[in-house]
Amino acid sequence: MKKLIREIPLANGLTVRFFDATRRYFGDYHQVRISICCEVPLNADLFEDAAAHHDAAKLLGGSVSYSKDIEHQGVATDDIPGTVEKVIQHFVDHSLSYLSGSEFPRKLVQSELKRILGKRKAFVVGGYRG
């Protein structure tokens, strides 16, 4: 089960959430897994016009999620808190500035739209090959 362990509000209005999904897998060995999530609501200001916003909402729903799982294997029980803190700090030091940028919400939404539309196009094209 994932447990919320930290939230960091960002300058662009988003919030990054860190969830601990650590589990023991053998003896005193654990798999430390931190799930990092950031929900981006589909606001109209992310789109050129109301029609583009409406079409995106039909495809994506009300929001798009950024998610990343970071894992460390073979962590002893006593080392779990330090490992969790190192994972969070590394993400904060190396990735948080990108997520807090003013262009991140638009880039994430556009990327998700391209991914979904690309899959649909590949499906349609694939359907005509056979």
- 51-98 per-position pLDDT tens digit: 999 999 999 999 999 999 999 999 999 999 999 999 999 999 999 999
Q: pLDDT tens-digit profile of 14-61? A: 999 999 999 998 999 999 999 999 999 999 999 989 999 999 999 999
Report if residue 8 sits inside a domain. yes
Give the domain extent around 45.
3-124
pTM of the entire predicted model:
0.85
Of 115, 106, 128, which Cα lies nearest the Cα of 48?
106
Mean pLDDT of 103-109: 96
pLDDT band, residue 121 (cuts 50/70/90)? low
Report if residue 64 sits inside a domain. yes
Tell me what pLDDT residue 126 has.
Answer: 41
Spell out the long-range contacts of 98-105 with Cβ–Cβ below 8 A and sequence spacing 24 or more.
Answer: 99/10, 99/14, 99/16, 99/38, 99/66, 100/10, 100/11, 100/12, 100/14, 101/12, 102/12, 104/12, 104/14, 104/40, 105/12, 105/14, 105/40, 105/43, 105/46
Q: Could you give the number of structural domains in the chain?
A: 1
Report if residue 58 sits inside a domain. yes
Report if residue 129 sits inside a domain. no
- Higher-confidence residue of 81 and 129: namely 81
Q: Is the pLDDT of residue 118 over 50?
A: yes
Q: Tell me which amino acid residue 32 is.
A: V
pLDDT band, residue 117 (cuts 50/70/90)? confident
Tokens 């981006």 correspond to: 40
Report if residue 130 sits inside a domain. no
